[in-house]
Amino acid sequence: MLNENYTVEIYPLAIEDLDNIYKYYFEESCEESIAIKVVGELKKAILGLSYIPKSHPLVRERRLKKDGFRKLICNDYVIPFLIDDEKMIVSVVRVFHGKMNYQKYL
């Protein structure tokens, strides 16, 4: 099992979050290149979870920590995810702006 990578699955709500982030940056900047850059960085970070996902910390909130939620921080965003070691799957649940109280949405 050494050097095996996890499969990264992105939940539909997380995909919707990425779409909304793209729309926000496109509308705010009127520059598609900025929207593409921001979402591209988020996607790259998410796909990077296939390597050593446990290097990212558990969330602080007790209920979510008990459920095994970890978080990836990328720029101004928090990306909560779960790990299924048996199936070698990382499940990205949502993508939140760091200023949001994301715990109440999980």
The CATH number given to 7-105 is 3.30.2310.20
C-alpha 21 chain-centroid distance: 13
100 DSSP β-pair partners: none
**Under a CB-based contact definition with an 8 Å cutoff, are residues 77 and 98 in contact?**
yes
* Measured distance CA(2)–CA(21) in Å, rounded: 36
What per-residue confidence (pLDDT) applies to 2? Answer: 53
Do residues 11 and 19 touch, judged by C-beta distance below 8 A? no
**CA–CA distance, 105 with 103 (Å, rounded to integer):** 5
Give me the residue spans of the domains in the chain.
7-105
Global confidence as pTM: 0.89
pLDDT at 4: 77
- Predicted confidence (pLDDT) per residue in 51-79, tens digit: 999 999 988 888 888 889 999 999 999 99
Strand partners, 97: 77
